[in-house]
Amino acid sequence: MTQGSVRPEGLVVASHGRHCVVEAPDGSRRICHPRGKKSQAVVGDHVRWIMPAAGQGDEGTIEKVLPRRNLFYRQDEIRTKSFAANIDQVLILIAADPVFSESQLARALIAAEASQITPLIALNKSDLVEPFARAWERLLPYRHMHHGSEKPHYGVLPLSLTESSETDRAALLQHLQGKATLVLGPSGSGKSTLINLLVPGARAQTGEISQALNSGKHTTTSTTWYWVDEERQTALIDSPGFQEFGLHHIGPMDLARCMPDIGARAADCKFYNCTHLHEPGCAVMAEVDAEDSSHHISASRYRIYQDLFEELSAGPRY
Ligand X SMILES: Nc1nc2c(ncn2[C@@H]2O[C@H](COP(=O)(O)OP(=O)(O)OP(=O)(O)O)[C@@H](O)[C@H]2O)c(=O)[nH]1
Cα dihedral 246, 238, 99, 126 sign: positive
Q: Judged by CB under 5 A, which stretch of 1-9, 133-141, 180-188, 278-286 contacts Zn ion?
A: 278-286
**Of 109, 103, 98, which Cα lies nearest the Cα of 191?**
98
Strands 89-95 and 118-124: parallel
Residue 163 binds ligand X (CB under 6 A): yes
How many C-alpha atoms does 84 have within 13 Å on its Cβ side? 31
Cα dihedral 266, 267, 270, 275 sign: positive
Q: Which does 276 bind (CB under 5 to 8 A by kind): ligand X, Zn ion, none?
A: Zn ion
**Of 20, 49, 12, 10, which Cα lies nearest the Cα of 221?**
20
Q: Judged by CB under 6 A, which stretch of 132-140, 172-180, 184-192, 291-299 contacts ligand X?
A: 184-192
The annotation status of 190 as a binding-site residue, yes or no, is yes
CA–CA distance, 317 with 141 (Å, rounded to integer): 33
Residue 222 binds ligand X (CB under 6 A): no
The annotation status of 82 as a binding-site residue, yes or no, is no
Binding residue for ligand X, selected from 75, 89, 115, 193, defined by CB under 6 A: 193
**Of 94, 93, 43, 86, which Cα lies nearest the Cα of 67?**
86
Q: Which does 282 bind (CB under 5 to 8 A by kind): ligand X, Zn ion, none?
A: Zn ion
Nearer to ligand X by C-beta: 161 or 209? Answer: 161
Residue 262 binds Zn ion (CB under 5 A): no
Q: Which does 189 bind (CB under 5 to 8 A by kind): Zn ion, ligand X, none?
A: ligand X
223 near 238, Cβ under 8 Å?
yes
Q: Judged by CB under 6 A, which stretch of 77-85, 122-130, 200-208, 278-286 contacts ligand X?
A: 122-130
38 near 95, Cβ under 8 Å?
no
Q: At residue 229, what is the residue type?
A: D
CA–CA distance, 49 with 30 (Å, rounded to integer): 10
Quote the least distance from Cβ 176 to ligand X, whole Å. 17
Q: Which does 161 bind (CB under 5 to 8 A by kind): ligand X, Zn ion, none?
A: ligand X
Nearer to ligand X by C-beta: 77 or 163? Answer: 163
Nearer to ligand X by C-beta: 176 or 183? Answer: 183
CA–CA distance, 28 with 35 (Å, rounded to integer): 21
Q: Which does 185 bind (CB under 5 to 8 A by kind): Zn ion, ligand X, none?
A: ligand X
The annotation status of 126 as a binding-site residue, yes or no, is yes
Binding residue for Zn ion, selected from 234, 276, 298, 302, defined by CB under 5 A: 276
80 near 249, Cβ under 8 Å?
yes
Binding residue for Zn ion, selected from 92, 247, 259, 274, defined by CB under 5 A: 274
Beta-carbon neighbour count of residue 263 at 10 Å?
17
Binding residue for ligand X, selected from 101, 192, 211, 214, defined by CB under 6 A: 192
The site for Zn ion (CB under 5 A) is made up of: 269, 274, 276, 282, 284
The site for ligand X (CB under 6 A) is made up of: 124-125, 127-128, 160-163, 185, 187-193
